[in-house]
Structure 1
Amino acid sequence: MATTRIGLDRLPTTARAAVEQYTGPLLSVVEATEGFNSEIAARVTSATGAWHIKGLRTDHPRVWTQRREASIAPFLGGVAPALCWHVETAGWDLLGFESQDGHHADFSPGSPDLPEVAALLCRLGETACPGIELRHAEQRLERYAAAPGDLRFFAGDHLLHTDLNNTNVLVNNCASQGDRARLVDWAWATRGAAWLDAGYWVIWLIASGHAPASAEDRAAEIPAWRTAPAEGITAFAAANRSVWGEITTGDPDPWTRRLASAATTWHVYRGGA
Structure 2
Amino acid sequence: MATTRIGLDQLPPATRAAVEEHTGPLLAVEESTEGFNSEIAARVTSATGTWHIKGLRTDHPRAWTQRREATIAPFLTGLAPALRWRVETAGWDLLGFEALDGHHADYTPGSPDLPEVAALLRRLGETPCPDIELRHAEQRLEHYAAHPDDLHYFAGTHLLHTDLNNTNILVNAHAPQGNRARLVDWAWATRGAAWLDAAYWTIWLITAGHTPTSAEHWAAEIPAWHTAPPEGITAFAAANANIWSDISTTDPDPWTTRLATAAIAWHAHRKGPPLTCTPCPSPE
C-alpha distance in structure 2 between counterparts of 1:188 and 1:252, whole Å = 22
Q: Does 1:271 align with 2:271?
A: yes
**1:42-191 pair list within 5 angstroms:** 42-191=42-191
C-alpha distance in structure 2 between counterparts of 1:74 and 1:92, whole Å = 21
Provide, for residues 133-192 of structure 1, a one-character-per-residue CA deviation record: whole Å limited to 9, x for no partner: 000000000001111111110000000000000000011122111001000000000000
- TM-score by structure 1 length? 0.99
User: Where in structure 1 are there 5+ consecutive unaligned residues?
Assistant: none
Residue 246 of structure 1 and its aligned partner are, at CA, apart by 1.1
User: Where in structure 2 are there 5+ consecutive unaligned residues?
Assistant: 275-284
The letter of the residue matching 2:36 is F
The letter of the residue matching 1:246 is D
C-alpha distance in structure 1 between counterparts of 2:10 and 2:30, whole Å = 14
Give me the identity figure in percent. 78
The letter of the residue matching 1:152 is H
Please tell me whether the aligned partners of residues 118 and 222 of structure 1 are also in contact (alpha carbons under 8 angstroms): yes
C-alpha distance in structure 2 between counterparts of 1:151 and 1:137, whole Å = 9
The letter of the residue matching 2:188 is W
Partner secondary structure for residue 270 of structure 1 = helix
Residue 113 of structure 1 and its aligned partner are, at CA, apart by 0.4
Identify the residue that residue 19 of structure 1 maps to in structure 2: 19
C-alpha distance in structure 2 between counterparts of 1:211 and 1:44, whole Å = 40
C-alpha distance in structure 1 between counterparts of 2:173 and 2:51, whole Å = 18
Please tell me whether the aligned partners of residues 116 and 180 of structure 1 are also in contact (alpha carbons under 8 angstroms): yes
Identify the residue that residue 28 of structure 2 maps to in structure 1: 28
Please tell me whether the aligned partners of residues 146 and 235 of structure 1 are also in contact (alpha carbons under 8 angstroms): yes
C-alpha distance in structure 2 between counterparts of 1:173 and 1:18, whole Å = 34
The letter of the residue matching 2:130 is P
The letter of the residue matching 2:62 is R
Please tell me whether the aligned partners of residues 168 and 183 of structure 1 are also in contact (alpha carbons under 8 angstroms): yes
C-alpha distance in structure 2 between counterparts of 1:253 and 1:89, whole Å = 35
C-alpha distance in structure 1 between counterparts of 2:241 and 2:91, whole Å = 38
C-alpha distance in structure 2 between counterparts of 1:57 and 1:148, whole Å = 37
- TM-score by structure 2 length? 0.95
C-alpha distance in structure 1 between counterparts of 2:253 and 2:85, whole Å = 34
Identify the residue that residue 208 of structure 1 maps to in structure 2: 208
Partner secondary structure for residue 271 of structure 2 = coil
C-alpha distance in structure 1 between counterparts of 2:170 and 2:102, whole Å = 6
Identify the residue that residue 281 of structure 2 maps to in structure 1: none
The letter of the residue matching 1:33 is T
The letter of the residue matching 1:173 is A
C-alpha distance in structure 2 between counterparts of 1:177 and 1:46, whole Å = 30
C-alpha distance in structure 2 between counterparts of 1:221 and 1:135, whole Å = 26
Residue 226 of structure 1 and its aligned partner are, at CA, apart by 1.2
Q: Which has the larger radius of gyration?
A: 2
RMSD: 0.8
The letter of the residue matching 1:262 is A
Residue 33 of structure 1 and its aligned partner are, at CA, apart by 1.1
Provide, for residues 105-137 of structure 1, a one-character-per-residue CA deviation record: whole Å limited to 9, x for no partner: 000000000000000000000000000000000
Please tell me whether the aligned partners of residues 101 and 173 of structure 1 are also in contact (alpha carbons under 8 angstroms): no
C-alpha distance in structure 2 between counterparts of 1:24 and 1:174, whole Å = 29
Identify the residue that residue 256 of structure 1 maps to in structure 2: 256
